[in-house]
Amino acid sequence: MGSKPKTCAPQLKPAVRQVEVPADRDGQRLDNFLARYLKGLPRGALYRLIRTGQVRVDGGRAKPDRKLLAGEVVRIPPVGHREASDVKVSEPVCRQIEAAILHEDDDLMVVDKPSGMAVHAGSGLAWGLIDVVRQIRPNRNVELVHRIDRETSGCLVLACSGEALRTLSEQFREGRVAKRYLCLLCGHLDPPLNQQVVEVDAAIVAERKGGEKHMTVDGEGRHAVTRFTVLEQFPRACYAKAEIDTGRTHQIRVHAHHIGAPLAGDRKYGSDADSRYWREKGLKRMFLHAAELGVTAPSGERMSFSAPLPSELRLCLDSL
């Protein structure tokens, strides 16, 4: 008699997860919330899940920047992805970020982010600063609270406890965080008589240019205000401090371009002629630095942090 055919145990398909938002994640952005459950999934893939409606909040569609409320239920679809343990950052980069930690306590961490390093993985990048921090602090629950552009250097605050994540996210959402940047603008500002400050109150909206996301000033966009304070004038540039209460994507860059003084080295919003000029001057990055950050800790203590101007930006100023 022939042997019976072998039978294989049925393979269980990964199940959809319905995750209730805990109290210590109240106010967290949907994309950051998902990133903790879909470790290693590229940001582009994560955003596609949201955009195509596979991720739901209380049964409805939501945008990546949707602020979650405690008790809401997030539908997380089954996906194939690399585990976070597969992402290993080199030791020199880990040492670089270890040395860049400006402050660390039980609730929060502040890092002087280097220019050229993204905050998180995605868009072809296998890892970001958050992955580096999690690698050098494997026993800590570290979460992103906000973002700064890949080319921008300076102060970035991370939450190290659920309470810090909630309170810090609330402060950023309500515009109660002091954010001051140093920048070099092409051309000159024209502040009102006897004043040094130029205030730009112009809403910002996203649009697509050649398949690439591009921010622009538009009355139908989201409210945004930037205050530029003149620090020093040069023949064809202006060194300034920029303060923002809102945190729109590329806000300072867009507002600088809007008033006819784009950031030096900004290849996205500046002109080709300006880009060539600054490359010839030795500036190989965008001149924008998050110099100061002020937040209120969960204890109620007001805390301020500062990051020195990087040497390559200081050398650029000296050359002028």
* Residue 8 domain flag: no
Query: Which residues participate in catalysis according to the annotation?
Result: 149
On whether both 196 and 299 belong to a single domain, the answer is yes
On whether both 128 and 197 belong to a single domain, the answer is no
- What is the residue range of 32's domain? 17-76
* Residue 3 domain flag: no
* Residue 265 domain flag: yes
On whether both 188 and 304 belong to a single domain, the answer is yes
Among 55, 76, 97, which residue terminates a domain? Answer: 76
Q: Which residues pair with 186 in a beta bridge?
A: 237
Is residue 192 within a helix (H) or strand (E), and if so which, with residue range? none
On whether both 200 and 306 belong to a single domain, the answer is yes
Among 119, 149, 173, which residue terminates a domain? Answer: 173
Q: What is the CATH number of the domain that holds 210?
A: 3.30.2350.10
Separation of alpha carbons 34 and 48, rounded Å: 12
Contact 172, 133 (CB under 8 A): no
Q: Give the Å distances, CA to CA, from 155 to 122, 136, 201, 288.
A: 21, 18, 24, 12
On whether both 295 and 247 belong to a single domain, the answer is yes
Among 59, 76, 93, which residue terminates a domain? Answer: 76
Cα of 49 vs its chain's centroid, Å: 20
On whether both 226 and 210 belong to a single domain, the answer is yes
pLDDT digits (tens, 9 = 90+) for 66-110: 999 988 999 998 876 444 445 789 999 999 999 999 999 999 999
On whether both 194 and 292 belong to a single domain, the answer is yes
Q: Which two tokens stand for residue 160?
A: 């190290």
* Residue 169 domain flag: yes
For the chain, the domain total comes to 3
Q: What is the CATH number of the domain that holds 66?
A: 3.10.290.10
Q: Give the Å distances, CA to CA, from 48 to 52, 63, 124, 155, 293.
A: 6, 11, 14, 29, 32
* Residue 5 domain flag: no
* Residue 129 domain flag: yes
pLDDT digits (tens, 9 = 90+) for 187-244: 988 777 667 899 999 999 988 776 678 899 998 899 999 999 999 999 999 999 999 9
On whether both 147 and 215 belong to a single domain, the answer is no
Separation of alpha carbons 80 and 38, rounded Å: 9
Closest CA to 186 of 120, 252, 261, 130: 261
Q: What is the chain's mean pLDDT, rounded?
A: 88
On whether both 276 and 293 belong to a single domain, the answer is yes
Separation of alpha carbons 226 and 101, rounded Å: 27
Q: Which of 118-122, 204-208, 245-249, 296-300 has the highest mean pLDDT?
A: 296-300
The per-residue pLDDT for 86 is: 55
* DSSP H helices in the chain: 30-37, 43-51, 91-99, 129-136, 162-173, 251-258, 272-280, 311-319
Give residue for tokens 């306590």: 105
On whether both 199 and 265 belong to a single domain, the answer is yes
Q: Which two tokens stand for residue 217?
A: 């000033």
On whether both 58 and 186 belong to a single domain, the answer is no
* Residue 57 domain flag: yes
On whether both 206 and 289 belong to a single domain, the answer is yes
Separation of alpha carbons 72 and 57, rounded Å: 7
* Torsion from C-alpha of 264, 268, 272, 277, nearest 10 degrees: 20
Percent of the chain residues topping a pLDDT of 70: 91
Separation of alpha carbons 62 and 83, rounded Å: 25
- Asked whether residue 259 carries a pLDDT value surpassing 90, the answer given is yes
pTM attached to this predicted model? 0.78
* Residue 263 domain flag: yes
